[in-house]
Structure 1
């Protein structure tokens, strides 16, 4: 796999299983995210498992859009990841959360890969209002990880 287009990491004084429970729950993740605001399981999915799909609701200012995500990795306490597509099935991004145990808790790494074909970047930028997606994602990841740390450490 290529290098992520944006990534960040944070030390968290909580067990990896607690951090995993937060990032693998699309509802909890929405509470910590900058653009992602909610989900609905689709195709009979009822929870975070490989192959499960959820419709994501996103917002930035007055702009709103939805995506379809398919969970690709669900290794409890270690990794949670999903691939995001447009409503038409075009690739958008991969989001991945890696968690490594430490003596004091764990380190969480959030990464994303921009999967949009070149021709799709301008239309999606116009639609979302984000012209430099990598910079925006770096800032969004930093904010999400700070909220993840607060949430995980407050629930220890």
Structure 2
């Protein structure tokens, strides 16, 4: 795990990695199936492609619905901003020019398996966390820290699910 940033304006990031004893094609198929993601997440409730898209491609959009005990329920539209089959799948949440978050899966192959990483950047665009920071600016660093730790935990769980599915086939 690698974590950076202390303030929202720092655009903090977190990255989690795992080694999967499975060929990259198998891992890639799981990473690109956004319909699997709600079953791997404590927050994400549903995901659906928009505009007739059936899978990732640069410019494709999808709607995600989430729920969190402190933030309630919300929906966001994400835009695929990077897509290299077998290697990288990334999306920006809300406005691609000023996203509230950017998420990325990256695969590296070798040694008879696949290294999978999931990375995310908070901000620079406003998000639900911005509202909490606006209400308690003196607690910004703690708010950001706690949320980044939640992301780290959820990403670790997601990668564990993908690893289990890929290695079971």
Give the TM-score range, shorter chain.
0.7 to 0.9
Q: Match of 1:7, SS?
A: strand
Q: TM-score, normalised by structure 1?
A: 0.82
Moved over 2 A (4+): 60-63, 116-122, 129-132
Displacement of 1:30 after TM fit? 2.2
Pick aligned residue for 1:36 from 44, 48, 62: 44
Superposed displacement of residue 5, structure 1: 1.2
Structure 1 pair 21–14 and aligned structure 2 pair: CA distance change class (3 A):
same
Q: How far is 1:9 from its partner?
A: 0.2
Q: 1:120 to 1:55 in 2, by over 3 A?
A: closer
For the Cα contact (< 8 Å) 2:100–2:126, is it kept in 1? no
The 1:117/1:47 distance shift into structure 2, 3 A limit, reads: closer
Maintained 8 Å contact 1:16/1:77: yes
What residue in structure 2 maps to residue 71 of structure 1?
80
Q: TM-score, normalised by structure 2?
A: 0.76
Contact in 2 for aligned 1:42/1:53 (Cα 8 Å):
yes
Q: 1:118 to 1:70 in 2, by over 3 A?
A: closer
Work out which of the residue numbers 75, 91, 96 in structure 1 matches 2:104.
96
Q: C-alpha deviations, 1:42-80, integer Å up to 9, x for none?
A: 123222111110100112248321110111122121111
Paired residues in the alignment total: 150
**Paired residues of 1:130 and 1:136 also in contact (CA < 8 A):** no
Q: 1:146 aligns with which of 154, 157, 160?
A: 160
Cα pair 2:11 2:124 within 8 Å, conserved: no
Q: Which residue of 1 aligns with 2:66?
A: 58
Asked whether the 8 Å contact 2:90–2:103 carries over to 1, the reply is yes
Task: List alignment gaps of at least 5 residues for structure 2.
Answer: 1-9, 135-142
Q: Is the 8 A contact 1:53 1:69 kept in 2?
A: yes
Q: SS where residue 49 of structure 1 aligns? A: coil
Residue segments in structure 1 that go unaligned for 5+ positions in a row: none
Q: Tell me, in whole angstroms, the C-alpha distance in 2 between the residues paired with 1:23 and 1:131.
A: 27
Structure 1 residue 117: deviation in Å?
Answer: 4.0
RMSD, matched Cα: 2.9
User: 1:72-122: per-residue Cα shift (whole Å, max 9, x none)?
Assistant: 122121111111117xx9621000001000213110000000014478634
CA contact (8 A) 1:17 1:76 kept: no
